[in-house]
């Protein structure tokens, strides 16, 4: 794609940096300027309109930078830029960890609203908390302004927010935030009042933030457990892979979250809520570990790749070392296969005797000392 060209990527990085300094409002402000200039409301701008919008937003892009972006996002060769495509490229996608959290909140809100498949602005405004909003925390915005900003973000959806629109909003909000942990803390604070009902009728917070440290601790414990259950002279990666394969009933090579949790149970790692009894690891932490390796966010995990990544630094077993092909034990001579790359440095020593040994120089063959 044209936007993958080195010149275009460099300008996009420059644009992202400029917008990141303005926070989530940076991308939204750019989108507003694009819409102001787009008088025809087609979602595309010609080169002149595009340059005008960039200047309005004071992005610090040169004329050459602007023309590079026009060329990169001109899909039809008519010097027309789809600014929706540009904004999508600037925003980037949510990481699997962030996307899972965003989708979880949408699902809980949708269930509260009657499972209509969309959210109502009026319904969610009542429980949307701005206390942890970055601009409010930094003292740059009042709570009322932050709430109005949230509502205004969906002004074009006629009060009904679909999952795609919900994800798009959080892609904009997420773009300037580099740390998944910081993003998770913001989300947990924003939706702290959102509860979900358990089968026993009790209510618990719908959003439970799992830090990177929690995930790494679970990963460490899982590796230790697998090491303990691996027989001598057996590869731990293989032990891990086989345990997951037993749960792959259709032989697809991938498993879902439920199968992943069952595998943890097989290794003796109790997960809360799977079987009777108190304690156990929070399911949210298990899901966070699953999401870490579900790199495409598909909800499926290749257990072979997971095992390979988990034990990438594992040393070979004694048996494996014994099976490694050894260097030839024959004496060096001209025709040896493993000496073909020797650049002829052995050519003058002598030819093969037919027994795989070097023919000694004539003086030595006659018994004379050199």
Are residues 201 and 136 part of one domain?
yes
> Up-side HSE of residue 271: CA atoms within 13 Å toward CB?
20
Pairing of strands 160-161, 254-255: unpaired
* Residues 251 and 304 grouped into a single domain: yes
Q: pLDDT digits over 329-360, tens only?
A: 444 444 555 444 444 444 444 444 444 444 44
Assess whether 101 and 201 both reside in one domain: yes
Please tell me whether residues 111 and 87 are part of one structural domain: no
Task: State the pLDDT at residue 90.
Answer: 81
Q: Could you tell me if 70 and 173 are in contact, meaning their C-beta atoms sit under 8 angstroms apart?
A: no
pLDDT for residue 146: 81
* Number of domains making up the chain: 4
Q: In this structure, are 334 and 250 located in the same domain?
A: no
**What does the buried/exposed string (b/e) look like for 198-234 if buried means 16 or more CB atoms within 10 Å of the residue's CB?**
eeeeeeeebbbbbeeebbeebbeebeeebeeebeeee
Residues in the chain where the model's pLDDT stays below 50: 1, 318, 320-322, 324-334, 338-361, 363-366, 370
pLDDT in tens, 4-38: 578 888 888 888 888 777 766 677 778 888 888 88
pLDDT at 220: 92
How much is the pTM? 0.58
| HSE-up of residue 117 (Cα within 13 Å, Cβ side) | 0
State both tokens at 102.
């965003």
* Domain co-membership, 303 together with 334: no
Do 308 and 330 sit in the same domain of this protein? no
Q: What pLDDT, on a 0 to 100 scale, did the predictor assign at position 219?
A: 92
226 plus 310 within the same structural domain: yes
Domain range enclosing 350 = 326-370
Residue 170: name the closest of 113, 99, 89 by CA: 99
Residues in the chain: 370
Which of 63, 74, 56 is CA-nearest to residue 5?
A: 74
**Based on the domain organization, do 85 and 101 belong to the same domain?**
no
Return the pLDDT at 260.
92
**Residue at which a domain ends, from 319, 343, 361:** 319
- Report the distance separating Cα 6 and Cα 158, nearest Å: 40
We report the CATH number of the domain holding residue 61 as: 1.10.238.10
Boundary residue ending a domain (45, 70, 91): 91
Last residue of a domain, one of 176, 205, 234: 205
104 and 199 housed in the same domain: yes
Q: Strands, DSSP E only, in the chain? A: 44-46, 80-82, 119-120, 160-161, 195-197, 203-205, 254-255, 301-302
If asked whether residues 191 and 254 sit together in one domain, one would say no
Same domain, 254 and 310: yes
pLDDT one-digit tens code per residue, 182-225: 888 888 888 888 887 777 777 777 777 888 889 999 999 999 99
């Amino acid at each position: 794609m044209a936007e993958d060209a080195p010149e275009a990527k460099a300008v996009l990085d420059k644009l992202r940096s400029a917008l990141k300094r303005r926070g989530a409002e940076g991308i939204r402000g750019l989108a507003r300027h694009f819409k102001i200039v787009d008088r025809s409301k087609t979602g595309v701008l010609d080169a002149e309109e595009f340059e005008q919008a960039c200047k309005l937003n004071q992005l610090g892009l040169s004329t050459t930078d602007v023309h590079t972006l026009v060329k990169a996002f001109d899909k039809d060769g008519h010097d027309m830029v789809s600014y929706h495509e540009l904004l999508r490229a600037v925003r980037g996608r949510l990481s699997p960890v962030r996307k899972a959290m965003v989708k979880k909140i949408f699902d809980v809100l949708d269930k509260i609203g009657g499972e209509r498949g969309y959210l109502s602005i009026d319904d969610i405004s009542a429980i949307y908390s701005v206390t942890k909003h970055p601009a409010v925390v930094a003292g740059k915005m009042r709570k009322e302004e932050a709430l109005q900003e949230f509502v205004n973000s969906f002004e074009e959806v006629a009060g009904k927010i679909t999952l795609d629109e919900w994800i798009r909003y959080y892609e904009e909000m997420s773009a300037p935030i580099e740390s998944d942990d910081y993003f998770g803390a913001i989300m947990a604070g924003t939706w702290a009042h959102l509860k979900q009902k358990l089968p026993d009728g009790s209510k618990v917070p719908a959003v439970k933030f799992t830090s990177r440290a929690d995930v790494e601790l679970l990963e460490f414990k899982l590796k230790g457990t697998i090491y303990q259950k691996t027989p001598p002279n057996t590869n731990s990666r293989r032990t891990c892979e086989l345990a997951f394969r037993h749960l792959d009933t259709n032989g697809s090579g991938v498993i879902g979250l439920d199968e992943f949790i069952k595998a943890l149970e097989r290794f003796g790692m109790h997960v809360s809520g799977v079987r009777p009894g108190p304690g156990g690891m929070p399911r949210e932490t298990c899901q966070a570990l699953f999401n870490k390796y579900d790199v495409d966010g598909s909800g499926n995990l290749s257990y072979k790749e997971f095992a390979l990544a988990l034990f990438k630094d594992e040393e070979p077993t004694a048996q494996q070392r014994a099976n490694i092909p050894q260097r030839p034990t024959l004496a060096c001579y001209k025709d040896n296969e493993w000496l073909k790359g020797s650049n002829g440095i052995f050519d003058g020593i002598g030819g093969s005797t037919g027994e795989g040994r070097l023919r000694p120089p004539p003086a030595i063959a006659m018994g004379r000392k050199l």
